[in-house]
Amino acid sequence: MDIHVGDILVMKKPHPCGDNRFLVGRVGMDFKIRCQGCGREVMVPRAKVEKNIRRVEREGRQLDRQELDRRPAPKKPDPEGERHV
């Protein structure tokens, strides 16, 4: 699943404070996410985060799970070269 720093994750299971929206602060083996209700930061293993995502808000767009799981469409060659490693 394709998650970026700065994305808002809308979780199936809410934080104990009742909010279910989390801002992504770091991605990797563990994600660092900040609850948008109480501001608490938590480290959660990627597998657990991905299982719990309902949708993602990115740059004002709402991405549902199907969209996130879809393989990215092949892009035209980028004159500046491949940047996404």
User: Which spans of this chain sit near Zn ion (rule: CB under 5 A)?
Assistant: 15, 17, 35, 37-38
> Would you say 34 or 46 has its CB closer to Zn ion?
34
Please state the closest distance from residue 15 (CB atom) to Zn ion, in A.
3
Please state the closest distance from residue 71 (CB atom) to Zn ion, in A.
33
CA distances from 8 to 14, 41, 43, 64 (A): 13, 13, 15, 12
d(CA 29, CA 51): 14
Please state the closest distance from residue 83 (CB atom) to Zn ion, in A.
35
